[in-house]
Amino acid sequence: MIDVREEIASAPIGRYHRFLALLIGMVVFFDGYDTFNPAYVIHYVAKPWHLAPSQAGLLVSSGLIGFMIGSLLQGKFSDRYGRRATLLGALWIVTIFSFATATLGKSFFTFCGLRLLTGLGMGALLPLGVTYVNEYAPRRLANTFSMWGWALGWATGGIVAAAIGIYLTPMFGWQALYYAASLSIVLVLVCHAALPESLQFSAMRGNWQGITQVLCRINPSKAARYTAAGQKFMFPEPNDRPASVSLLLSPRYRKTTLSVWVAAFFILFGIWGLSGWVPTAMMQRGEGFATSFSFGALIQAMAFVGSLLCGYIADRGGKDREAMAVWWLGGAISVGILALVNIHALNIICVGAAGFCILGGQNVLNNFTAASYDTEVRGTAVGMMLGVGRAGGILGPFITGLLQQHTPGTAGLFVAIGAASLIGGVAIVFATPRRSHELVPTADARHVS
């Protein structure tokens, strides 16, 4: 009997792993790209559309409302119908409505409505990307492999958004951001041709056709064993429990579920409050146009570096929760300094440190969540975590906009973000350690001849 899950977990990193990481990285690229788009739109439409700061915050939050709904729905669809079909559908939604935003988003209400519809697709990209990469990741390098897959794609997307915001929007207007986003049509076609179904999902569902071929690609050195006549495969997870919120809150998962929900809510409150307002806030603090817009790229670049280091520590010492708590404490300190001091050099250092710590820890939270649940409920768990988190993300730009509307300067913005980061760091400590969810083969494991 060949244990499919163990074969994936013990396989060395090879060419097929790199191909999957690249493909999923490109998928999540568009989520990272979308994260900062509204921040660059605010600068161009606030005066023509006569927007108060709280309304400008809704430009960011409208997409997050759709993102939250998409995150919650994708879990049900991906755990029931498969990762591949759900991901392809989400990519089509993102492509169509990104183009519609560029061509039809000519008023505040139209723009927000189209952003909400785009968010329905965007809400599936990140949780599915995290789920895909984790289900193909070797055990000993789970976080590191994930960071070089979806996390690199996400960070690169944010950097490209900043570059377009700085260099193309002055010439072509904010619509350039969404015309570029609609280029995801190329990726849709590539994924239709090349994206495989999650191997763990196929095994759990008993869809054994093609599993041998994929295992041979993952670990070519064992190809002869996989293709031997009469070979049997097994998957040591029962599939008789339908994915549901009640299962996430069952005694097996309850402690972890509540911890990651609280952490995600407050951390994404801080991330979207920061990412949505940092260009505008930095201009208020006296920074130039190009410099203020480049802070978005700085956040994303430092987020990837922070993700790699935090993931490395989590893999080496098995201290996921402790690493995230330390990272988010560092983020709280960084934005706390911004609330007290306005010096150009410190602005750069502290914004970079906030990206390194707050966003870097969030990327590890995504992996931690995916690894803490069984295959049958993993898509729902990641989607629910990001959906609850996006509720915090919706409030982040809006509440920080209100703070700027009713308090002088930018101190209130950074105090709110720092407090949210601190609460998230405390919450994650109460999660159950990831290794306690690992399963061993049981009598009701799925198998086939």
Q: Is residue 443 part of a domain?
A: no
DSSP code for 228: S
Q: How many domains does the chain have?
A: 1
Return the minimum-mean-pLDDT range out of 89-93, 126-130, 261-265, 346-350: 126-130
Question: 448: helix, coil or strand?
Answer: strand
Q: Is residue 342 part of a domain?
A: yes
Q: Is residue 315 part of a domain?
A: yes
> Could you tell me the residue range of the domain that residue 162 belongs to?
2-230+241-434
Q: Is residue 66 part of a domain?
A: yes
Residue 145 pLDDT level (bands cut at 50, 70, 90) = confident
CATH number at residue 141: 1.20.1250.20
Return the minimum-mean-pLDDT range out of 135-149, 169-183, 273-287: 135-149
Helices (H), 46-151: 53-81, 83-104, 108-136, 142-146
Q: Is residue 226 part of a domain?
A: yes
> Quick one: tokens of 238?
């029962």
pLDDT of residue 399: 84
Is the pLDDT reported for residue 440 higher than 50?
Answer: no
Cα 350 to Cα 418: distance, rounded to the nearest angstrom: 12
Q: Is residue 439 part of a domain?
A: no
DSSP code for 175: H
Q: What is the pLDDT of residues 300-350, one digit of tens each?
A: 789 888 988 888 888 776 788 999 999 999 999 999 999 898 888 898 999
User: Are the C-beta atoms of residues 390 and 311 closer than 8 Å to each other?
Assistant: no
Q: Is residue 176 part of a domain?
A: yes
If you average pLDDT over every residue of the chain, what do you get?
83
pLDDT of residue 447: 44
Please report, as a single letter, which amino acid is at residue 320.
D
pLDDT of residue 418: 93
Q: Is residue 444 part of a domain?
A: no
